[in-house]
Structure 1
Amino acid sequence: MEAKLHLMKLCVGAEGPDDLAAWQQQRFGNGPARHVTRMWPKRESELLDGGSIFWVFKGVMLARQRILSLDEVIGEDGIKRCGLILDRDLVRVAAIPRRAFQGWRYLQPADAPADLPKGRQAEEALPPAIAAALAEMGLR
C-alpha cells in the first residue's frame, strides 16, 4: 500500500543515518522512537495511512522512518506538542538534495525518494556533501 502523505524534517545534530540510529538506540532502546515537534499535522489521517518521516542530513535527504502514531506531549512549559511515534527501522533512501527549512514539511509520495535496494541498506552512508554532489549529477 502506498502512503497518502509523508513528512520531511531536518535532522539536526546527526551526521547521517547511522548517527541517528545510534542516538535512537541509546535513547529508546528497542522500542519505538519518538520525535517531538511543535506543530500538530492537520493531515494526520493521511500521514497515518502508511506515511513516513524523511530525514534530511546536512542538506541531503538520506533516510526515512514509518510514522506509527501521533501522541500528545505536554512540555515543561505547559504547551501541547506532537510526538511522532516512529518505527525503529531506519530505511535508507536515494539521496536527494534539499534546501534548509524550519519545522517540517509535507512530502507527496510522488516527490519522495525511492528506498535503496535491500542489498545496499547495510552500506555505510556517504558523507552528506558527497551524496548531495552525486545526487545533483544524477549518479546516486
Structure 2
Amino acid sequence: MTSRSHINLIKLSVGTESVDDLEHWQESYRQRFADGLPRHVTRMWPKRESQILDGGSIYWVIKGIIQCRQRILRLDDVTGQDGIRRCAIVLDPALHRTVQALRRPFQGWRYLSPEDSPADLPQGRATEDPLPPELSAALAEIGVI
C-alpha cells in the first residue's frame, strides 16, 4: 500500500508499441545490471525524491495513452560516458496495467499526483488482450476507458 504523501512520475515510452513491447525491452536491458532490475536513466534528478520513494510509481505513456505503471524502488546516481551526472530511476520489474488515459506528448518526465493517476486494472482484466491503439485512444477520448 502506498502512502498519501507519495508522488508519481509520468514518462513517454518512446518507440514502444505496447506494454508487452516495453516488458520485452526492459527484460533484455536489465540483464546488464548486477541487481537485474530495470531502470530509466534521465538527466534531471527529481527534487521531490523523498515523496517518490515513499510509494511512487512511474506511469508509462505508450502511443499517447497511459497504459501501465511500475513501482519506483530507488534513485541511483550514475555518471555517463560524457562525465555528466544522471539519475537512474530503478524500477520493480512488475508492470501493472492501468485504466487507460490519454496524454499529449511531452519531453522528459513530469510529476503525477496520486489523484490524477489512473487506477490499476483489476487482476482479471490485466491479462486480457489489449485493444488496438486506435480504438483504445478513441474510447479514452470520449471517456469510456
Shift of 1:32: 1.4
Structure 1 distance, partners of 2:61, 2:131, is 13
Match of 2:92 among 87, 97, 100: 87
Match of 2:120 among 111, 115, 118: 115
Q: How many residues align?
A: 140
Identity %, equivalent residues? 58
Segment drifting more, 69-78 vs 2-11: 2-11
- What is the identity, as a one-letter code, of the residue corresponding to 1:59? G
- What is the identity, as a one-letter code, of the residue corresponding to 2:68? A
Shift of 1:138: 2.1
- What is the identity, as a one-letter code, of the residue corresponding to 1:135? A
Structure 2 distance, partners of 1:70, 1:125, is 31
Tell me the TM-score normalized by structure 1. 0.95
Are 1:130 and 2:135 matched, yes or no? yes
- Please give the root-mean-square deviation of Cα atoms over the aligned residues, in Å: 1.3
Matches within 5 A, 1:28-43: 28-29=30-31, 31-43=36-48
For 1:25, the equivalent position in structure 2 comes to 27
Q: Where do 5+ consecutive residues of structure 2 fail to align?
A: none
Tell me the TM-score normalized by structure 2. 0.92
Shift of 1:85: 0.3
Shift of 1:126: 2.2
User: Taking CA–CA contacts closer than 8 Å with sequence separation of 6 or more, which of the two structures ends up with the larger relative contact order?
Assistant: 1
For 2:2, the equivalent position in structure 1 comes to 2
Deviations 1:64-105 (A, max 9, x none): 000000001100110000000000000000010000000000
